[in-house]
Amino acid sequence: MTDEAQWIANVLEGDKQSFAFLVSKYERMAYTLAFRIVGNREEAEEVVQDAFVKMYRSLPNFRGSCKFSSWFYQIVYHTAISSLRSPHFFSDFESVEVTDVTVAEQETASALLEAKDRKEIISQTLKALARDEALLLTLYYLEECSVEDICQITELSPSNVKTKLFRARKHFYSALEKKMKQETKNLL
């Protein structure tokens, strides 16, 4: 039995202390996801608190047919969407063709890997993106969720997830290049 499975079993046996381990493990990613959706720190914290309480109450219903993380992130996602009071979080399909990331964009991004303030720049770039795209990039590239996991969390179809991820990545690299150009200009 994994540590996580043991914690869940303990919580189900009434040991609330074991829940603290689950909170420690998932708090930061839950907060990141909530923040990507609501775009506000205070609201994101409220969403995370609600999501953990919901998770605690629903834990007896968790059957283990999917990853626990995906199951919990789905709760976070729905809680955050409810707080937005708008059922349409994901933008509709754009008919505009999107090209893949260019070599220039890739080179700019590679150069950024060495930068001391990389995390700050990436965070700002993600904030500048559409929230649904920032969320997908976070799930896929930061949390390393599979397309199937993302489908479970967001209830989007696999083809929809793939298309949106492709667009999100392109927009991310374009925004990154623009930002870097702006910063270079500012330095000069």
Partner 1 sequence: MEEIDKLTRKLMEGTAERPSSRLNECIMRLIWKEKSLRKRIVYVESLPRIGAIAWGVVFYLLLVLFLFFYFRGESVTLEGLWALLRPYAPLVILVSGAIPLYLMGVWIDKKRMNR
Q: Which is nearer to partner 1, 101 or 128 (CB)?
A: 101
Interacting positions 48-77 with partner 1 (CB under 8 A): 48-49, 52-53, 56-57, 59-60
97-136 in b/e form (b: 16+ CB < 10 A) is eeeebeeebeebbeebeeeeeeeebbeebbeebebbbbbb
Q: Per rule CB under 8 A, is residue 95 in the interface with partner 1?
A: no
Q: Is 170 buried (19+), middle (13-18) or exposed (0-12) by CB count in 10 A?
A: middle
Interacting positions 106-165 with partner 1 (CB under 8 A): 106, 109-110, 112-113, 118-119, 122-123, 126, 137-138, 141-142, 144
- Contact, 153 vs 70, CB < 8 A? yes
List 1, 2, 24, 65, residue binding partner 1 (CB under 8 A)? 24
**What contacts 73, CB < 8 A, 6 or more positions away?**
29, 30, 33, 139, 143, 145, 149, 153
Give least dist CB 140 to partner 1, A.
8
Q: Which is nearer to partner 1, 56 or 89 (CB)?
A: 56
Q: Which is nearer to partner 1, 41 or 181 (CB)?
A: 41
Where does this chain bind partner 1 (CB under 8 A)? Answer: 11-14, 16, 19-20, 23-24, 27-29, 31-32, 35, 41, 44-45, 48-49, 52-53, 56-57, 59-60, 100-101, 106, 109-110, 112-113, 118-119, 122-123, 126, 137-138, 141-142, 144, 169, 172, 176
